[in-house]
Amino acid sequence: MAGLLLAGCGSGGGGSAPATATAPGGVALVAPGKITTCTNVPYEPFQFRQGDKTVGFDVDIVDLVAKKLGVRQEIIDIDFAAIKSGAALNSGRCDLAAAGMTITPDREKNLAFSVPYFDATQALMAPKGSGITSLDDVKAKGLRLGAQASTTGLDYVKGRGLDPVEFADSPKELLGLQTGQVDVIVQDLPVVLTWLKKPEVAAKFEMVATLDTGEQYGIGMKKGNTALKKVVDETIEQAKADGTYTQIYKKWFGTEPTPAPTPAAS
């Protein structure tokens, strides 16, 4: 543990604390033989427990990076606030962060992001027959709105004059809706759709609106870690070009991405 705390995520540009190992391409890693990923579990279908393993869309994307570097992926579950602030990366606890994390200007002050790997939007979920069809309905009816702490969904509804109840993670947010602590919740659309695949949830709740927020997810790295960013960007772009990305997308979402993925412009 002491070694992990003292190790830094190396950079191609110099100036970072020394790491304990170097992978092909001059990528400095926190620990030899593996790329260490910080995430926040569960956030299905991006990362969640399946037996004794952590699986999901984000896990498969980072596995491609690990394969390119000739190492294995190790996943650490931590609080999302420590991820988006850059603290987990700056302390050398992990090499990168993959947690269904939206790229925002504020977060870019603390993190270096990969090219976008997922187009996201938000959704509202409420009990069946609620009559809710928009945030305006929530506000007009004085309903209790729930949101996950430290997320762009929370920021979005706050920016529209709402004061939501904050939940520490997505399962607690869903439980808040199920137990009547709140009347409606806002969450990333893919997460809502995954919840609604479960019969016990779909029997009582439904998606009542989508909020087109124009969000894109990125993999976070320590600022200045140019060598790792280069590998991550190349891996994402190659996966989009050769069909691997579409295969992974279909595996976790049951449909092909729309529009079809194209590599980022160089």
Note whether 124 and 185 are within 8 A (CB): yes
Question: For 47-101, what is each residue's pLDDT tens digit?
Answer: 999 999 999 999 999 999 999 999 999 999 999 999 999 999 999 999 999 999 9
pLDDT (tens digit per residue) in 30-57:
999 999 999 999 999 999 999 999 999 9
Cross-strand partners of 31 = 34
Strand ranges in the chain using DSSP code E only, listed in sequence order: 21-23, 27-29, 34-39, 48-50, 53-55, 72-77, 96-97, 111-113, 118-127, 145-148, 165-167, 184-188, 205-217, 220-222
Question: 192 and 123 in contact (C-beta within 8 Å)?
Answer: yes
Mean of pLDDT values over 172-198: 96
- CATH of segment(s) 2-117+218-253: 3.40.190.10
What's the pLDDT band for 208 if we cut at 50, 70, 90? very high
**CB hemisphere CA count around 71 (13 angstroms):** 24
More confident residue, 15 or 92: 92
Helices 226-242 and 57-69 pack at an angle, to 10 degrees, of 110
CA-to-CA dists, residue 96 to 62, 185, 190, 241, angstroms: 9, 29, 22, 23
Q: What is the model's pLDDT at position 255?
A: 87
Can you give the pTM of this predicted structure? 0.80
Higher pLDDT, 117 or 19: 117
Burial (CB count <10 Å: 0-12, 13-18, 19+), residue 226:
middle
Non-local (6+) Cβ contacts of 213 within 8 A are 120, 121, 122, 152, 156
Give the pLDDT confidence score for residue 23 in this predicted structure: 77
| Mean pLDDT lowest among 5-9, 70-74, 172-176 | 5-9
What dotted CATH number matches 121-215?
3.40.190.10
CATH 3.40.190.10 occupies which residues in the chain? 2-117+218-253, 121-215
